[in-house]
Structure 1
Amino acid sequence: MAMTGMRQLAVGIGAIERTPPAAILHEGVPAALEAVPEHRRTAAIELAHWAYGSAAGLAFGLRPGRIRRWRVSGPLYGIAAWGMFEFAIAPVLGLSHAERSRPRERTALLVDHAVFGLIVGAPDEATVAGPESGGAGDEPDPEPGSTPDS
């Protein structure tokens, strides 16, 4: 949802003409929108993007822990997702923006995806707080069937 806010801001200030999900569903795969009533298309586009982002976040979560713990791995992953769209998916789908120079729009989307990477790559609370914080999550879970005093 943080990316949704970033994208809406970028569209609102004129940095982005059409969001990537909207471009894909209007130009790249228009048949996907034909079955959706016109008054529901904005919601359908947003849900498609959330599904794609969730899948990308899940894929990041499947990376080995030693890679995920590296603080810049999340932003680099987000930037890689942006690059994949800009330089592979958009041209293959024949999206109009892939054929023209758009430095301001590309910069806005690059930042947007770096923020996505910061969010999916955020270290878990134990990593941030550290074991010396004394939080409840610092102790290992008891063995199944044991009591706290055993």
Structure 2
Amino acid sequence: MAMSGMRDFTANIGLLEKSPPEVIVERHAPRKVKRLAAEHRSAIIELAHWGYGTVGGAAFGLLPRRWRADPRIGPLYGLVVWLAFELGIGPLLGVQYREQRRLAHRAMLAVDHMMYGTVVAGRLAPAPEVRP
């Protein structure tokens, strides 16, 4: 959800074009979804993106504990997730448009995914107290 807010902000100030989930729905969703009113289609796109994020968060939890303890791993994990889409998943789905994207668009997606990694790593929450 943090990424949704960041994505909305960057779209509203003109730095972000269509997000990959929007393009995936445009190209691959069933006709029934494509015919929905824009606000209903947006809700489906958002839920799908949260689903992907949940799977990514679960995968982060499978990393070794000592890796997850490193404060740099969250943002790095977010970048790896983004690059996996850019270089692998996106092209497989036909959503590969890296050459046409503005640098600002790509930078915002990178920052967005670094925020995702930070949230998934739990770095925004205070550290729990360790009792002796």
TM over 0.5: yes
Aligned pair in 2 of structure 1 residues 41, 22: CA closer, same or farther (>3 Å)?
same
Decide whether the 8 Å contact of 2:86 with 2:96 is kept in 1: no
Cα RMSD after superposing both structures: 2.1
| Aligned: 1:35 with 2:39 | no
Residue matched to 2:108: 108
Percent identity (aligned) = 40
CA distance in 1, matches of 2:83, 2:64: 22
Stretches of structure 2 that go unaligned for 5 or more consecutive residues are none
What is the letter of the counterpart of residue 30 of structure 1? Answer: A
CA distance in 2, matches of 1:93, 1:124: 33
SS at match of 2:117: helix
Stretches of structure 1 that go unaligned for 5 or more consecutive residues are 132-137, 140-150
Decide whether the 8 Å contact of 1:15 with 1:104 is kept in 2: yes
SS at match of 1:14: coil
CA distance in 2, matches of 1:25, 1:54: 19
Aligned length: 129
Aligned pair in 2 of structure 1 residues 124, 115: CA closer, same or farther (>3 Å)?
closer
What is the letter of the counterpart of residue 76 of structure 2? Answer: L
CA distance in 1, matches of 2:103, 2:25: 23
The structure with higher relative contact order (CA 8 Å, sep 6+) is 2
Provide TM-score, normalisation by structure 2: 0.87
